[in-house]
């Protein structure tokens, strides 16, 4: 398909309009302080080798855990053992993303609790920050800084977190949670008055239609730092929410949704649009259980328009029951079917039903 044809297809009736926008992200910031005390520091320094560390207990700032690590005789051989080295490290078990930064200021406290020998981070860091030459041993005064031979280090830590939007659906399991938390959502999908956050990589992996939409979006605007925005004007937000949940979890929608015929029909149409065949089959099977004489005409039209053989066959079985075809042909639904279904398809319906009514073998259909 040519580029112009692809654009025409994507921009045609019933398709998303593509445009671009930036995503406002909630930012949380908090500052916490922690003291690391090392009693008998001189004795400790004389006992431990270069690279050996003393570490603080965990302390929490902005929902993440941290530790101060002190190397009394330096961190590596590249740095003189005459210095104390420090590092501020993450102690959280959660995975790291680029949405978290921190800045640290560390100081030695004198007897009065006043900071001295202070150093600060000059840039954001997300995992660890090291001061390889924090303070020289000879600069620590026993009377001023090592009262009772105890070294006290104060760490002031400021942590900034960009909070990604919460998923608009139940994730159902650790795998789905891992998929959502892998990175910040970078696609917004506007459906009616609601906006859903999503990840481009998962949309492209699950649906070739989403992949085509986002590919066109990228060609129109090649700014990598701009979040893609897809707009869906002809779908119920509740239906799209269920579709998006299936994209992330690959699990059936909630039973209550499928029990509502209008929602199940809307979800089938959405699944067909985005080529989610498994979801489409789930919706077919749900609608099969709700076919009645009052709905069979609409259901046949739906099955024909969206190529649903399972749903089509269920309608055939209903109409093949004794008396049902004759009763159906007397309804407005039958006249509706003659208007909206292709004539060849309608002939097939009539021939098959007539054969079943007269108990003639199906071979007569092909005659």
pLDDT digits (tens, 9 = 90+) for 130-155: 888 888 888 888 888 888 889 999 99
Between 178 and 20, residue with greater pLDDT = 178
pLDDT digits (tens, 9 = 90+) for 161-198: 776 566 766 666 666 667 776 677 888 888 988 888 88
pLDDT digits (tens, 9 = 90+) for 43-69: 998 898 888 888 899 998 887 889 999
Identify the weakest region by mean pLDDT among 8-17, 84-93, 119-128, 245-254.
8-17
> Does the pLDDT at position 21 exceed 50?
no
Torsions phi, psi for 299 (to 5 deg): -70, -40
DSSP H helices, 132-207, are 174-181, 200-206
Identify the weakest region by mean pLDDT among 79-93, 98-112, 141-155.
79-93
Average pLDDT, the chain: 78
- Looking up tokens 């009539």, which residue turns up? 350
% of the chain at pLDDT higher than 90: 24
- Looking up tokens 């007897």, which residue turns up? 111
**Mean pLDDT across 319-330:** 79
Sketch out the chain's domains with CATH numbers.
Answer: 27-163 (2.60.210.10), 174-366 (3.30.710.10)
For residues 328-360, one letter each, b for 16 or more C-beta atoms within 10 angstroms of the residue's C-beta and e for the rest, the string is: beeeebbeebeeebeeeebeebbbbbebbbeee
pLDDT digits (tens, 9 = 90+) for 218-241: 766 555 545 678 888 889 999 999
Between 207 and 321, residue with greater pLDDT = 207
pLDDT at 306: 93
Between 121 and 17, residue with greater pLDDT = 121
Q: How far is it, in rounded angstroms, from Cα 257 to Cα 255? A: 5
């Amino acid at each position: 398909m040519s580029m112009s044809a692809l654009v025409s297809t994507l921009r045609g009736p019933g398709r998303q309009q593509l445009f671009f926008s930036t995503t406002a992200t909630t930012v949380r910031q908090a500052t916490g302080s922690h003291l690391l005390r090392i009693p008998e520091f001189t004795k400790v320094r004389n006992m431990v080798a270069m690279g050996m560390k003393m570490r603080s207990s965990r302390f929490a700032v902005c929902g993440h855990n941290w530790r101060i690590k002190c190397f009394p005789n330096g961190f590596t051989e590249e740095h003189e053992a005459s210095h104390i080295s420090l590092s501020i490290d993450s102690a959280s078990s959660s995975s790291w993303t680029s949405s978290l930064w921190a800045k640290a200021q560390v100081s030695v406290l004198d007897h009065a609790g006043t900071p001295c020998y202070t150093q600060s981070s000059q840039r954001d860091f997300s995992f660890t920050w090291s001061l390889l030459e924090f303070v020289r041993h000879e600069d620590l005064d026993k009377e001023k800084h090592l009262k009772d031979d105890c070294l006290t280090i104060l760490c002031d830590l400021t942590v900034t977190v960009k909070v990604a939007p919460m998923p608009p659906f139940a994730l159902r399991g650790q795998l789905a949670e891992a998929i959502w938390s892998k990175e910040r959502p970078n696609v917004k999908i506007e459906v009616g008055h609601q906006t859903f956050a999503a990840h481009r990589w998962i949309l492209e992996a699950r649906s070739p239609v989403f992949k085509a939409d986002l590919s066109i979006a990228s060609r129109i605007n090649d700014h990598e730092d701009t979040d893609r925005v897809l707009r869906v004007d002809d779908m119920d937000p509740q239906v799209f929410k269920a579709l998006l949940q299936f994209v992330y979890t690959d699990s059936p929608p909630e039973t209550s949704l499928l029990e509502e015929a209008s929602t199940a029909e809307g979800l089938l149409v959405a699944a067909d649009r985005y080529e989610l065949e498994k979801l489409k089959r789930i919706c077919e099977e749900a609608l099969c259980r709700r076919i009645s004489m009052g709905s069979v005409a609409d259901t046949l039209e739906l099955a024909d328009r969206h190529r649903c053989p399972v749903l089509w066959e269920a309608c055939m079985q209903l109409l093949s029951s004794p008396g049902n075809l004759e009763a159906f042909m007397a309804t407005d639904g039958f006249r509706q079917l003659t208007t909206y279904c292709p004539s060849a398809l309608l002939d097939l319906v009539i021939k098959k039903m007539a054969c079943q009514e007269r108990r003639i073998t199906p071979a007569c259909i092909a005659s």
